[in-house]
Amino acid sequence: MRKQVAGLLYISPWLLGFLVLTLYPFGASLYYSFTDYSMVREPGFIGFKNYVEIVTRDPDFYKSLKATAYYVFMAVPAKLIFALLVAMVLNLPLKGIGLFRTVYYLPSILGGSIAVSVLWKFLFMREGLVNRVLSYAAVEPIDWLGNPKLALFTISLLPVWEFGSSMIIFLAGLKQVPKELYEAAIMDGSSRISTFFRITLPLLTPVILFNLVMQTIGAFQQFTSAFVITGGGPVKSTYLYGMMLYDNAFHYFKMGYASALSWILFLIILAFTFLLLKSSNRWAHYEDGGGTA
């Protein structure tokens, strides 16, 4: 009994934080999603009215959902591919490789911050560094942030630059690949490309699955880059779902409506995560022959 009490005392800070900062807001937002709560009056129960209005009457819902989907499908694969390539380079036995690993991880420490988004905005503005570099190749200035066809692509490049966390996980996975397999491949005369696709990539699929799920969840929740760099423009081409949720909550003070939006986003993320985990049974390979449920 004393051991149980001692154990509860040790985990009480985490338990208190979970109850107050996670479980209560989780339940409260679900309740508010069925109300007309607006921060200026007491919430009144209205049933599914918020959800019906979002799906049937709010044109911004589908615009933001479309922009977010494009963002996810551009940013996540590009980030994972780039992170894997860098991890493979940093896995080589080079002199001073530890320093290079640290330097390449640094951008991720600032990942998602306002400072990084401001930096990105200055890089891609019409008079920014990117256009100045292109001008040396006689390329006309490109309106990266003012062109609706380029703005979403431009902010989708930002998470690719913040590849450090995914790179570290890939690097850990590469360390776990048995060297004997590479030695056997060399003995069989396998090329580097063939070795990558036949040995490295299959053994990295559990790591790829983890990174894919985590980065997809994060991309669906993206807010800072669109808010700081483009403000959702031009013509709402970068109006991500997170921005729509923020506007309804803190600009229009429609907390009940914003809570409903957050729960719709939660269900979308849940559905994508479920599909990724179910599909992994066909392409993720585990040493013990197991997989996800």
End-to-end CA distance of the chain: 36
Question: Mean pLDDT over all residues of the chain?
Answer: 89
What mean pLDDT do residues 89-114 have?
73
Name the residue with higher pLDDT: 105 or 262: 262
Give whole-number Cα distances, 171 to 82, 84, 105, in Å: 12, 8, 12
**Using one digit for the tens of pLDDT, what is the confidence trace for 58-84?**
999 999 999 999 999 999 999 999 999
Question: Binning pLDDT at 50, 70 and 90, where does residue 38 land?
Answer: confident
What mean pLDDT do residues 135-160 have?
90
pLDDT over 70 (residue 112): no
Give the type of residue at 32. Y
**Using one digit for the tens of pLDDT, what is the confidence trace for 174-223?**
988 888 888 888 888 888 889 888 888 999 999 999 999 999 999 999 99
> Model's pTM, two decimal places?
0.89
Of 283, 90, 92, 83, which is closest to residue 182 (Cα–Cα)?
Answer: 92
The domains of the chain, with CATH numbers, are 58-283 (1.10.3720.10)
Counting residues of the chain whose pLDDT is more than 90, the rounded percentage is 53
pLDDT at 261: 97
